[in-house]
Structure 1
Amino acid sequence: MARFFFDTYDGNRLIPDTEGIELQSAEMAKIEAQKALPDLARDALPDGTQKTFIVSVRDETGQVILRAALSLIVETAPQNRV
């Protein structure tokens, strides 16, 4: 088992993970990062028309081994004028 750290960024602030979690592999860390993105988006709904959420995964040495991102884009349809 190895310890992985999941730093999150919601477009406004970076929240470093100081505790981490133990997982069997980097592949499991990738799955956890992907699962975290919808929760980030739900907790910090965009206050504009676009927002990108990022989870960076670090290994025990502090090296970033992967980064996962989710972008939310809000587009309004143009109104038809008669």
Structure 2
Amino acid sequence: MNAQQHLTGGSEIDTALQELFDDAPREPVAMKKYYFDIRHSSRFIHDDEGVELPNIEAARQEATTALSEIARECVRGRSRHRMAVEVRDDHGHVLEASVTFVMKLRDVKAIDRNRNASLDAV
């Protein structure tokens, strides 16, 4: 048997194993409902629907994605903004992902004076 036959399940053993696994009963993954509440500025958006996910890691990834999308939209034109995604299940809060955005405008005139003074010294 060459490598191509093996990769495509060409041997009798490969075919028998594949049939065994195809017919094997699979246990369903227990899904749990997670709710993603959004908090930004003085607003609080309560999630009444929730999302079924397999585990807390999937909920963490979902919260991270949601937070990055919210941040992209909410910080425009603001110098300071805090936002959070609070994740809960049927028993209570399980995690929180938050970001605080701060933009500080430096004293441009002072920076220019220091830069010019440095250039004059050269």
Task: State the TM-score bracket (shorter-chain normalisation).
Answer: 0.7 to 0.9
| Aligned counterpart for 2:86 among listed residues 56, 60, 78 | 56
Q: AA paired with 1:72?
A: F
Inter-partner Cα distance in structure 1 for 2:77 and 2:84: 17
Give the Cα–Cα distance (whole angstroms) in 1 for the partners of residues 72 and 42 of structure 2.
15
Matched to 2:101, the amino acid is L
In structure 2, the partner of 1:36 is: 66
What does residue 78 of structure 1 align with? 107
Equivalence for 2:48:
18
Compute the displacement of 1:79 (Å): 1.4
Structure 2's unaligned 5+ residue stretches are 1-30, 114-122
Tell me the CA shift for residue 44 of structure 1.
Answer: 2.0
With normalisation by structure 2, the TM-score equals 0.61
Distance 1:77 1:43 in 2: 24
Using the alignment, how far apart are the partners of 1:48 and 1:21 within structure 2? 31
TM-score (normalised: structure 1): 0.87
The number of residue pairs the alignment matches comes to 81
Higher strand share: 1
Task: Determine the C-alpha separation between the residues in 1 that align with 2:32 and 2:80.
Answer: 35
- Larger helix proportion of the pair: 2
Larger RCO (CA under 8 A, 6+ residues apart): 1
Unaligned runs of 5+ in 1: none
Displaced runs of 4 or more, over 4 A: none
The offset of 1:8, in angstroms, is 0.3
Match of 2:36 in 1: 6
- Counterpart residue type for residue 36 of structure 1: A
Structure showing greater radius of gyration is 2
For residues 20-43 of structure 1, what are the alpha-carbon distances to aligned partners after superposition, in whole Å with 9 as ceiling and x for unaligned?
000010111011101111211222
Return the alpha-carbon distance in structure 2 between the equivalents of residues 15 and 9 of structure 1. 6
